[in-house]
Amino acid sequence: QERLKERGIDYIAVREPGGTPVGERIRSLLLDPDYSISPIEEVYLYATSRSALVREVILPALNRGRIVISERYLDSSLAYQGYGKGVPLKFIYEVNMPAIMGLYPDLTVLLDIDPYISLKRLEDKKKDRIELEGLRLQEKVRYGYLKLADLYKERYLIIDATREPKEIAEIILKEMERFTR
């Protein structure tokens, strides 16, 4: 993000779930390990958070000509609740279509890493409800993201997440230049 500022690129960074008052409340519920939430309930909660974010933040920013960088979006629901937890992809799309208001990303960056390595990196960190679901879920989610990347090749950039952070940032910035000229 510092490099974007240096280059004078007008952008806003958002996260999912979250980014709005409603979204942040939903985020705390979704990630709290003290709650048991079914995959179907997750679909609705993520879609509700996403709807608020699109309506209150993303759409107004795009209308002002800003670039929006989102930590996650619809593909995350497809990967986690669909491929990871078995919710039909068609259902996830149907629930999310009104939420995203026809907005799809121009570029999706997939930081790909072996789930075992990813979970190892989190060993000393307090884990949220989803991280506590373990390796098998993460393997299914990774498979889902790679399937989506294959399906939507034109907008996906897959980067080996074991590379140095500065190197990853440079690769992403170079790809983003296509959209900032």
pLDDT tens digits, 53-94:
999 999 999 999 999 999 999 999 999 999 999 999 999 999
Its pTM stands at 0.93
Residue 18 and residue 73 in contact, taking contact as beta carbons nearer than 8 Å = no
CATH superfamily placement of domain 2-180:
P-loop containing nucleotide triphosphate hydrolases (3.40.50.300)
Q: What percent of the chain has pLDDT over 70?
A: 99
Instruction: State in Å, rounded, how far the first CA of the chain is from the last one.
Output: 17
> How many angstroms separate the CA atoms of 49 and 26, rounded?
7
Domain residue spans of the chain: 2-180
Q: How big is the CA angle at 100 (ends 99 and 106), to the nearest 5 degrees?
A: 165
| CA distances for 101 relative to 47, 51, 52, 79, 81, angstroms | 11, 8, 11, 20, 20
